[in-house]
Amino acid sequence: MARIVCFGELLLRLTAPGSERLLQSWSLDVCVGGAEANVGVSLAAFGHDVSFASIVADNPLGSAALGELKRHGVGTACVQRAPGRMGLYFLEPGAVRRPAAITYDRAGSAFAEAAPDALDWSSILPGTDLFHISGVTPAIGPKAANAALRAAAAAVNAGLPVSFDGNYRALLWEAWDGDGPAILRELLASATYAFINERDIALILREPFADRAAAYAAAFDAFPRLKAVAATTRQQSSVDDQALAAELVTREGRWVSPEHLLPGVIDRIGGGDAFAAGALHGLIAGRDPQHTIDFAVAAGALKHSVPGDFNRVTEAEVEAAMAGGSLDVRR
């Protein structure tokens, strides 16, 4: 299995209970999350040696969040502790025809305020097989954007494959008037594997595309390092009843997964990260592309059954979902 470094902000998620509106009642459920951490937890569950690189608040909240990563097998030796606060986000779950809504509270966090050169990539990256980052990290603020670009450049200079998940977050970019498309374009230029769709590519290249195939062709032309692109396709009859399929595209071909029906969705947050981790699991190992995309979409589908940001499933459980395994109680 591979050694993987994931770089991003570790967050606390505070969720309204059940299907309530935010603060409809004065209680919130708390869990640990964050895009890159979610990917790391899934990859560790699939057997990889995963390290998380970050700056986390030097207080009990930061300690608890790091403890949760360790509990899921993710290494934290590359995490620095610093004065400040944890980044938070508040989730109002959707229901029926009311979509979920997120409120960010990340400004001024220890991660957002860290110096762009706070982490020494020359000591973190040796021995690494893959570096993963998402578009959420540079959206946090100017220092985080600088840090993300430095990290990706260090990985490229070290000769590592880079995994990039677009994850455009308009609310975060607007909060500091950052030029998201320009910064994300620099990150995508570093990527070997990208989890983006036609909307992401149109945003980054600043041009419209007739369809996803045209967008992918443009991305491969614009970014010579790029070897593979993967994206999901989601159908929604309501917040609670959805369907998920996906495709994997390389310079040599295209592979499409079967569709997974998802009646009674429990929690879709982190589903894209679960999908990305599933795809990376196959891409790293050089598995058959069809198996890779089938595994990835099954992993993403299973996340919809798990509360919280992390996809708490094993490789065997994903393989069973791929095969249409029995839904009988396992005794």
Model pLDDT for residues 206-261, shown as the tens digit of each residue = 999 999 999 999 999 999 999 999 999 999 999 999 999 999 999 999 999 999 99
Q: What is the pLDDT of residues 44-76, one digit of tens each?
A: 999 999 999 999 999 999 999 999 999 999 999
Q: What is the DSSP string of 242-308?
A: EEEEEEEEESS-EEEPPPEEEET----TTHHHHHHHHHHHHHHHT--HHHHHHHHHHHHHHHTTSSS
Question: Considering the domain boundaries, does residue 27 fall inside one?
Answer: yes
316 is a domain residue: no
- Interior angle at CA 238, CA 235 and CA 241, nearest 5: 70
Q: Does 66 fall in a domain? A: yes
Mean pLDDT of all residues in 122-149 = 98
CA atoms within 13 A on the CB side of 227: 10
CATH number at residue 7: 3.40.1190.20
- Quick: pLDDT tens for 307-323: 999 999 999 999 999 98
Q: Which of 151, 177, 178, 173 is nearest to 164 (CA)?
A: 151
What range defines the domain where residue 126 resides? 3-227
pTM score above 0.75: yes
pLDDT tens for 276-285 read: 999 999 999 9
Binned at pLDDT 50, 70 and 90, residue 328 comes out as: low
* pLDDT confidence tier of residue 177, bands split at 50, 70 and 90: very high
- Which residues have a Cβ under 8 Å from the Cβ of 118 and sit 6 or more positions away? 55, 80, 82, 147
Task: Give me the pLDDT at residue 325, please.
Answer: 66
Position 320 in a domain: no
Q: Would you say residue 79 has pLDDT above 70?
A: yes
pLDDT recorded at residue 1: 85
Q: Is residue 187 part of a domain?
A: yes
Q: What is the pLDDT of residue 264?
A: 94
**328 in a structural domain:** no
pLDDT at 326 over 80: no
With a cut of 90, say whether residue 263 has pLDDT above it.
yes
Does the pLDDT of residue 329 top 90, yes or no? no
Q: How many domains does the chain have?
A: 1
Q: How far apart are CA 247 and CA 130, in angstroms?
A: 21
Lowest mean pLDDT among 82-96, 143-157, 286-300, 315-329: 315-329
Tokens matching residue 137 = 């990290």
Between CA 175 and CA 113 the distance in angstroms is 15
What integer best gives the mean pLDDT of the chain?
Answer: 96
DSSP 79-129: EEEESSB-EEEEEE--BTTB--EEEEE-TTBTTTTS-TT-S-HHHHSTT-S
Token pair 């893959």 is found at: 130
Positive or negative, the CA dihedral 43, 48, 51, 56 is positive
Q: Let me know if residue 131 belongs to a domain.
A: yes
CA distance 14 to 9: 16
What DSSP state is assigned to residue 64?
H
Tell me the HSE value of 259 on the side-chain side, using a 13 A CA sphere: 9
75 within domain boundaries: yes
Q: Retrieve residue 216's tokens.
A: 């992918």
Residues 6+ apart with CB under 8 A from 177: none
Q: Are 10 and 52 in contact (CB under 8 A)?
A: yes
Gap between the Cα atoms of 90 and 263, Å rounded: 25
